[in-house]
Amino acid sequence: MSKPSPHAAFVAEKAAIDPTNFALANCIRALAIDAVQAANSGHPGAPMGMADAATVLFRNHLKFDATNPDWPNRDRLVLSNGHASMLLYALLHLSGYEDMTREQIKNFRQLGAKTAGHPEFGHAQGIETTTGPLGQGIANAVGMAIAEKALAADFGGDIVNHRTYVFLGDGCLQEGLGQEAISLAGHLGLGKLIALYDDNEITIDGPTSVSFSEDVPARLAACGWHVQAVDGHDADAIDAALAAARNEGSKPSLIAIKTVIGFGAPTKSGTASSHGSPLGEDEAAKAKAILGWSADPFEIPAELALEWHQIGAKGTSDRQAWEGRFDALPSTQRDEFARRLAGDLPEGYDAAVQRARQTLFDAPQKVATRKASQLALDALAPCLPELIGGSADLTGSNLTRVDAVDTQFTAQKPGRYIGYGVREFAMAAAMNGMCTHGGLIPYGGTFLVFSDYARNAIRLSALMEVGAIYVMTHDSIGLGEDGPTHQPVEHLASLRAIPNLNVFRPADAMETLECWDIAIRSRKTPSLLALSRQGVPQLRTERGDKNLSAKGGYVIKSFGASRDITLLATGTEVSLAVEAAQDLNEQGLGVAVVSMPTWELFDAQDFAYRAEVLGSAPRIAIEAAGKFGWTRYVDTEDDVIGMTGFGASGPADALYQHFGITKDAIIARVKTLTNT
């Protein structure tokens, strides 16, 4: 008989602290081992290391009801280290979430399963957000905690009063996004946000000492967090730390949980080799032996299964009490709460849109589309209490602040406008968290060029199918003197390439209003508005109550009975196209100008509509941006009046001349194409 490994002795010592918690946690570890082994792919180490802490959280702290997963006042739980997905799936399965069946666990990482490699929002109940790209979960959680505070202010603490817990690892803390989220949470005093940091001293490349030597608790304390550190395999210590964190009302809490990655695995525990690969059959068997686990793969012994189900149901009374309080509300408040959570628009909204249209028809506006955006917001926000705005420190440039949201969200008092600071990425990811939380429609501003900084969170808005609204101004060389670092050139194309993202570039004040209207209605597709710094005339002056932008592209002006040429344009270049069209028409050509505020919606129209709008005449596209992608609508990039490289610093007019985005250039190309 061989001697027990040193690790076995270590495990035995930890097991003795709270044998019940240890046994419950072993259910998680066994499922993680089995699922990763069956898939022959995945990350067993973190679920095994964090199982003890997660068990304590579920047993004694997390407010939830597995039989009613969507209970609005449940605590939110985010797995920011999304690769540890089996931790979450095991917890949901064990505690009795109906759709997280054993079959799903067995099909971990298989096509069509709810148990994707990383947790995917919408795949199963209890998955509060999509994680995997590191740092985003903690930033989502910040958004959820903001949402909780905002909704509590609107509906009272009897109805909205929950915590947001987030698991995170070293990677989330190394990513800059993590720091942005941490700094923002500290600044906003999000006392109901509690982070459990899996301090396992291992990253993919080996021990964290290879790349990470910070004093994490000191960093977070400097950012206004309440910090604690505990043994991650000591259930009592974890329990006490969670209690202290819950007791802290004004600061977000970090609990650094010292864990051993792959806890239980005799040779791979405590090393990077347990991070991202199956343990292997031999190591898996030995790990189970060390953990004292003898059940068959994917089997949970009956009494442990029962105990876990009881954990899953222990929130039922809380939930029922909440329902009692909710039912006692005046019906208007109940209806409003239900409306907000369902994402339905209020009754007066359509009328507000129509009034705003009339106002623009009555007094056409020659303004920058960023200013038009502010006008639209000013008109629509008063009837949308769910709107919560903000900017990444560019409020005066983005023009994102209007009277209806003119209450600053501070640590002392929630409000409807968030100073995100120079933190574009955290802004976007926090908006995603607000969306998945429910009850709010977030919008946030920055310069279009800095969509780069937020890009992966914009991608996740699209992937998660949530309706965040990005207000991105200074959308071309038209911003002028700030120069090429600030001038988006490739950004429209690169954003159009993202699936399920509506990229809007409205041509005038009316289209800007229309695009805002579409964005507000669009709760499953995020919207990005690209808006100008420079003024444009209002082209749309013919009265009508139809949102023409909703088809994505349409003939905005026609000159002449025939159509000899079609000019496609977006944003500020639509009025330039109209000027060129007038000149061309005077020279005898029939010209249609097509405004294409959003390609995505245009491409969703039927063939007949698209064919009619695009016409059969030669086509030219005009956009003060890179030409990439326009060959979807024109023959070659020679037919695009646009940019071929980066911009430059100078006054806007000089830049348009310099880069040849001019009426003359349009006319010259038309003459080549039409042989006139």
Based on CB atoms, which residue is closest to its own copies, 184 or 576? Answer: 184
Tokens for 57?
């959280």
User: How many angstroms separate the Cα of 271 from the Cα of each of 10, 111, 205, 265, 373?
Assistant: 15, 30, 10, 10, 53
To its own copies, the closest distance from the beta carbon of 548 in angstroms equals 25
Based on CB atoms, which residue is closest to its own copies, 424 or 511? Answer: 424
Amino acid at 92: L
Based on CB atoms, which residue is closest to its own copies, 192 or 496? Answer: 496
Based on CB atoms, which residue is closest to its own copies, 266 or 415? Answer: 415
Tokens for 45?
């180490």
Comparing CA positions, the residue from 256, 245, 194, 248 lying closest to residue 219 is 256
Based on CB atoms, which residue is closest to its own copies, 23 or 141? Answer: 141
Three-state SS across 444-465? EEEEHHHHHHHHHHHHHHHHHC
Based on CB atoms, which residue is closest to its own copies, 385 or 488? Answer: 488
Ordered DSSP codes for 35-72? HHHHHT-S--HHHHHHHHHHHHHHHHT----TTSTT-T
To its own copies, the closest distance from the beta carbon of 267 in angstroms equals 18
Based on CB atoms, which residue is closest to its own copies, 55 or 130? Answer: 130
Question: Sign of torsion, CA 297 302 306 308?
Answer: negative
Count of residues making up the chain: 676
Strand partners, 417: 389, 408
Catalytic annotation, pick one of 424, 514, 573, 623: 424
To its own copies, the closest distance from the beta carbon of 107 in angstroms equals 10
To its own copies, the closest distance from the beta carbon of 376 in angstroms equals 21
- C-alpha dihedral, 158 to 163 to 164 to 168, nearest 10°: 180
To its own copies, the closest distance from the beta carbon of 114 in angstroms equals 10
Based on CB atoms, which residue is closest to its own copies, 21 or 662? Answer: 662
User: Tokens 């030597």 correspond to what residue?
Assistant: 213
Burial 208-232 (b: 16+ CB within 10 A, else e): beeeeeeebbebbeebbbbbbbbbb
CA distance 529 to 389: 14
Q: Is 43 annotated as a binding residue?
A: yes
To its own copies, the closest distance from the beta carbon of 42 in angstroms equals 7
Q: Is 275 annotated as a binding residue?
A: yes
To its own copies, the closest distance from the beta carbon of 139 in angstroms equals 9
CA distance 676 to 591: 13
User: Tokens 């207000």 correspond to what residue?
Assistant: 471
* Beta pairing, strands 206-207 & 202-203: antiparallel
CA distance 119 to 482: 41
Tokens for 272?
């990077």
Is 465 one of the catalytic residues? no
480's enclosing H/E stretch is none
CA distance 149 to 151: 6
Q: Is 398 annotated as a binding residue?
A: no
Q: Is 474 annotated as a binding residue?
A: yes
CA distance 594 to 26: 63
Comparing CA positions, the residue from 6, 21, 5 lying closest to residue 231 is 21
H-only helix segments in 248-301: 281-291
Q: Is 132 annotated as a binding residue?
A: yes
To its own copies, the closest distance from the beta carbon of 133 in angstroms equals 6
Contact present, 357 and 508 (Cβ < 8 Å): no
Q: Is 370 annotated as a binding residue?
A: yes
Which residues lie closer than 8 Å to 176 by C-beta, 6 or more apart? 135, 425
Q: How many CA atoms lie within 13 A of 651 on its CB side?
A: 2
Based on CB atoms, which residue is closest to its own copies, 132 or 270? Answer: 132
Q: Is 482 annotated as a binding residue?
A: yes
**Strand 193-199's sheet: what is its strand order?**
76-79, 164-168, 193-199, 253-258, 226-231
Q: How many CA atoms lie within 13 A of 374 on its CB side?
A: 20
To its own copies, the closest distance from the beta carbon of 131 in angstroms equals 8
To its own copies, the closest distance from the beta carbon of 41 in angstroms equals 4
Q: Is 651 annotated as a binding residue?
A: no
User: How many angstroms separate the Cα of 315 from the Cα of each of 58, 262, 383?
Assistant: 10, 30, 35
Read off the DSSP letter of residue 347. T
Contact present, 121 and 464 (Cβ < 8 Å): yes
Based on CB atoms, which residue is closest to its own copies, 189 or 439? Answer: 189
What residues are designated binding site?
43, 83, 132-134, 170-171, 200, 202, 275, 370, 397, 450, 474, 482, 486, 533
What residues are designated binding site for thiamine diphosphate?
83, 132-134, 171, 200, 275, 450
Residues designated as active site = 424
What residues are designated binding site for substrate?
43, 275, 370, 397, 474, 482, 486, 533
What residues are designated binding site for Mg(2+)?
170, 200, 202
